[in-house]
Amino acid sequence: MSDTALRICPFCEATCGLTLTIDDGRVTGARGDLDDVFSHGFICPKGASFAELDNDPDRLSAPLVRRDGVLTEVGWDEAFAAAAEGLQRVITEHGGASVGLYLGNPNAHTVAGGLYTPVLVKAVGTRQVYSASTLDQMPKHVALGLMFGSPVAFTVPDLDRTDYLVVIGANPLVSNGSLATAADFPGKLRALRKRGGRLVVIDPARTRTAALADRHLAPRPGTDAALLLAVVHVLFDEDLVDLKHLAGHVNGVEEVAALAADFSPDVVADHCGLPAEDIRTLAREIAAAPSAAVYGRIGTSTVEFGTLGSWLVDVVNILTGNLDRPGGAMFPLSPIAPAPRPPKPGRGFAIGRWRSRVSGYPEALSEFPAAAFAEEIDTPGDGQIKAVITIAGNPVLSAPDGDRLDKALAGVEFMLSVDPYLNETTRHADVILPPPPPSRSAHFDLALNALAVRNNARYSPPALPLDGRPDEAEILSRIALVFYGVGVEGDPALVDEQVIAATLAKETADPQSPVAGRAVDELVAMLTAGPGYERRLDMMLRLGAYGDAFGTRPDGLTLAKLKDAPHGVDLGPLRPRLAEVLRTPTGRVELAPHQLIDDAARLRDALGARSDGFVLIGRRHLRSNNSWMHNLPALAGGSNRCTLQIHPDDAADLGLTDTAVVKGPGGELLAPIELAPGMRRGVVSLPHGWGHDRDGTGQRLAAGQPGVNVNQLNDGGVLDPLSGTAVLNGIPVDIAPAG
């Protein structure tokens, strides 16, 4: 007899509810949960492959420890002891500051990543912290921090209600949405058009999302900031600025007007490769729409002017009065966001509080650029990284110049990876601690609920028992205990109880907290009796915006209530809440932070400096997920291939028939071409996450169709200066026929 279990899908930001089929203690199928309050049955090919991923025979089921140079399966006690010994050795000799950490993307999709990596980073006490954020959304964090005083004050397009949506540099029909958590993004875009709304897509490639749009503008890559600044120019020039409810809450409008004065559509048209009239029409339509939202993602973020572009997305939303109102760009309210306090000025936001050792890059959100990880490992001197910990990441493929990082990692004194796969990065580890498969982990969206286009709360307990292995919460807690000085054999519950005690002490002492003045012991005793992560989630929910405030609001949320609602709790449409979110010292939106105004000088210089060579961009595929899902039969093959997409006329001009040599600033590679009539002339695309041809990895299917590592074309020398984010889109390349 089959059984079923509900499980939120952790493979992308859409957070679809899945119904898993379970036979004989293993997952055998997955379909969309029709009753899920958020996803209503939507599913994509990756979610549908949950069983294959869960049961992948190449997934590590036991820890690996390097013995005489060879990674060898050992028991958990031995592996933890080896991890502790290796780390301790380096800490004793070089100090905790010599430990470098790299945190990869799936940390945003696991309970362990959300709750324990912050504890671990603090316990290690190093400034050598790197993550996929500087290959992704760091520009947005910096822009939000400077504008709103909080780097996590994300807005999302109010997809269900907007009349006019501009998607710039995103392809949600394939990615299923990012920094905008919306299960069934495709359905929501169709619904928008059906109710008479309009969709504009700005992308150098005619993507599936662009094909759905009322209008597709195909600019030259890397020019979104100039394009958006020209939109701002038109808004001022044609007297279309209308702050509406935001009037009186925004500083710096004149400074933005002054900046935009130099960037008329006619001035930027050549740089952007678009007719000036198209830019004017866009600005007029955004201003005229009853409600509108501009939504930008990777193509606006991982580019030379990433922070400027990410900022200007919100500048347009603000100048047209579309920030923080239904149908516009709104701030979600996560169930674990602290209960709102009365508005008060914040301390503001700073970047560059310290700088990296080798290239002097400024920190952003206490991280250095992922593109600088290798140089901090392989450059000798004081402060050099001597030990590396990677958690859920594969920077050898995901960051620029993986060959250099590959060599650097081979030379560190000790490396620990927490990862289910032996891959291009983890193959260098001395110890690999594999987390259990997703069916044996609990799920709660700590990060993504704060980006949801409709407020909701859902919890999935583990669908299957752990079978004697530690979960990832325990793995990360035990590593933290090494740095606490307690030792790896300590009680991992210590970590949770310490966080709980510290959080509740702070809350009860805060006169604005819903638990002000109460006894910490009393509150601790009220928490659920489950594992530590459940106790922490219960605490966060109860202190949160919808929480029961530990009994004060009996109708409020607790973890027990979520467990009683396995399809989730709908918390309603987004509602205006700018005042709660603002943390600037002035208590107003800072539309013109000086760092951004100053950085625009680079943009001015770029306008005159265009070259006519080819530029490279990236793309994603519905059946691929960064570097780590190329090992599943259901997802591999077909159109999911690592090809160089190029316009047929460009291919003909170059005499390309099958394979091209592509040369970039960081190296060259051979790739099969794929004719793509939807690609802008002069632009080519290669997907990332491929290049599975290195020795000593353990993903057999992926190794059989390795593809090439696009990031080897990139030397990582060009970063968005404010955020330290690598330029991954808009890279100059030379292309020629192979042979």
Which residues are near Mo ion by CB under 5 A?
A: 136
Residue 9: name its binding partner from Mo ion, ligand SF4, ligand MGD, none (Cβ under 5 to 8 Å by kind): ligand SF4
Shortest CB 375 distance to ligand MGD, Å: 17
**Cβ distance 536 to 542 under 8 Å?**
no
Tell me whether residue 425 is exposed, middle or buried, using C-beta atoms within 10 angstroms of its C-beta: 0 to 12, 13 to 18, 19 or more. buried
Under rule CB under 6 A, residue 628 binds ligand SF4: no
**Which residue's CB is nearer to Mo ion, number 104 or number 556?**
104
**DSSP per position, 195-214:** TT-EEEEE-SB--HHHHHSS
**Which residue's CB is nearer to ligand SF4, number 45 or number 530?**
45
Shortest CB 382 distance to ligand MGD, Å: 28
Tell me the C-alpha to C-alpha distance, in Å, between residue 528 and each of 248, 394, 519, 523.
Answer: 45, 36, 17, 11
Where does this chain touch ligand SF4 (CB under 6 A) — which range of 13-21, 291-299, 576-584, 601-609? Answer: 13-21
**Which residue's CB is nearer to ligand MGD, number 205 or number 256?**
205
Q: Which of 722, 727, 725 is nearest to 596 (CA)?
A: 722
Mode of pairing for the β-strands spanning 64-67 and 26-32: unpaired
Where does this chain touch ligand SF4 (CB under 6 A) — which range of 14-22, 205-213, 452-460, 547-555? Answer: 14-22
**Which residue's CB is nearer to ligand MGD, number 374 or number 520?**
374
**Cβ distance 546 to 570 under 8 Å?**
no
Considering only 7, 11, 483, 685, the residue that binds ligand SF4 (CB under 6 A) is: 11
Distance in angstroms (rounded) separating the CA atoms of residues 732 and 689: 20
**Cβ distance 216 to 201 under 8 Å?**
yes
**Which residue's CB is nearer to Mo ion, number 544 or number 716?**
716
Under rule CB under 6 A, residue 373 binds ligand SF4: no
Shortest CB 579 distance to ligand MGD, Å: 30
**Which residue's CB is nearer to ligand MGD, number 644 or number 728?**
728
Residue 711: name its binding partner from Mo ion, ligand MGD, ligand SF4, none (Cβ under 5 to 8 Å by kind): ligand MGD
- Contact residues for ligand MGD (CB under 6 A)? 12, 104-106, 110, 132, 135-136, 168-172, 174-176, 178, 202-205, 207, 221-222, 224, 297-300, 303, 391-395, 398, 418-421, 423, 435, 472, 617-622, 624-628, 688-689, 710-711, 728-730
* Tokens of residue 165, six digits: 């949506």
* Tokens of residue 354, six digits: 């310290």
Residue 392: name its binding partner from Mo ion, ligand MGD, ligand SF4, none (Cβ under 5 to 8 Å by kind): ligand MGD
**Which residue's CB is nearer to ligand SF4, number 223 or number 398?**
398
Distance in angstroms (rounded) separating the CA atoms of residues 451 and 100: 29
**Which residue's CB is nearer to ligand MGD, number 201 or number 589?**
201
**CB count in 10 Å sphere of residue 605:** 9
**DSSP per position, 640-682:** B---EEE-HHHHHHHT-SSEEEEEETTEEEEEEEEE-TTBPTT
What's the distance, CA 303 to chain centroid? 15
636: alpha, beta or left, given left = phi > 0 and alpha = psi -120 to 50? beta
Considering only 46, 188, 271, 297, the residue that binds ligand SF4 (CB under 6 A) is: 46
CB-nearest residue to ligand SF4? 47
Where does this chain touch ligand SF4 (CB under 6 A) — which range of 9-17, 307-315, 339-347, 585-593? Answer: 9-17
Residue 356: name its binding partner from ligand SF4, ligand MGD, Mo ion, none (Cβ under 5 to 8 Å by kind): none
Site residue total, ligand SF4 (CB under 6 A) = 12
Shortest CB 626 distance to Mo ion, Å: 7
526 three-class SS:
helix
For ligand SF4, the binding residues in 215-254 under the rule CB under 6 A are: none
33 — phi, psi (to 5°)? -85, 105
Under rule CB under 6 A, residue 437 binds ligand SF4: no
Q: Count of H helices and E strands in the chain?
A: 27, 28
Under rule CB under 6 A, residue 452 binds ligand SF4: no
Tell me whether residue 281 is exposed, middle or buried, using C-beta atoms within 10 angstroms of its C-beta: 0 to 12, 13 to 18, 19 or more. middle
Distance in angstroms (rounded) separating the CA atoms of residues 728 and 399: 9
185: alpha, beta or left, given left = phi > 0 and alpha = psi -120 to 50? alpha
**Which residue's CB is nearer to ligand SF4, number 495 or number 635?**
635
Element of type H or E holding 683 = strand 683-685
Considering only 6, 22, 27, 44, the residue that binds ligand SF4 (CB under 6 A) is: 44
Identify the sign of the CA torsion 570, 571, 576, 577: negative
Shortest CB 461 distance to ligand SF4, Å: 18
Shortest CB 657 distance to ligand MGD, Å: 24
CB-nearest residue to ligand MGD? 299
| Residue partners of 231: CB distance under 8 A and separation at least 6 | 279, 282, 283, 286, 312, 316
Tell me the C-alpha to C-alpha distance, in Å, between residue 676 and each of 206, 624, 644, 651.
Answer: 9, 19, 9, 10
Where does this chain touch ligand SF4 (CB under 6 A) — which range of 40-48, 118-126, 358-366, 670-678? Answer: 40-48
For ligand SF4, the binding residues in 308-347 under the rule CB under 6 A are: none
Considering only 6, 7, 16, 384, the residue that binds ligand SF4 (CB under 6 A) is: 16
Shortest CB 50 distance to ligand MGD, Å: 12
For ligand SF4, the binding residues in 159-198 under the rule CB under 6 A are: 176, 183
Draw the binding track, 652-691, toward ligand SF4 (x: CB under 6 A; -: no contact). Answer: ----------------------------------------
| Residue partners of 573: CB distance under 8 A and separation at least 6 | 158, 160, 161, 326, 454, 455
**Which residue's CB is nearer to ligand SF4, number 15 or number 477?**
15
**Which residue's CB is nearer to ligand SF4, number 597 or number 636?**
636
Q: Which of 109, 137, 452, 413 is nearest to 300 (CA)?
A: 137
Where does this chain touch ligand SF4 (CB under 6 A) — which range of 7-15, 205-213, 307-315, 367-375? Answer: 7-15
Considering only 20, 22, 27, 43, the residue that binds ligand SF4 (CB under 6 A) is: 43
**Which residue's CB is nearer to Mo ion, number 236 or number 421?**
421
**Which residue's CB is nearer to Mo ion, number 109 or number 188?**
109
Residue 14: name its binding partner from ligand MGD, Mo ion, ligand SF4, none (Cβ under 5 to 8 Å by kind): ligand SF4
Shortest CB 532 distance to ligand SF4, Å: 26
| Residue partners of 513: CB distance under 8 A and separation at least 6 | 339, 341, 507, 543
**Cβ distance 53 to 632 under 8 Å?**
yes
**Which residue's CB is nearer to ligand MGD, number 385 or number 571?**
385
First-to-last alpha carbon distance for the chain, in angstroms, is 58
Q: Which residues bind ligand SF4 (CB under 6 A)?
A: 9, 11-12, 14-16, 43-44, 46-47, 176, 183
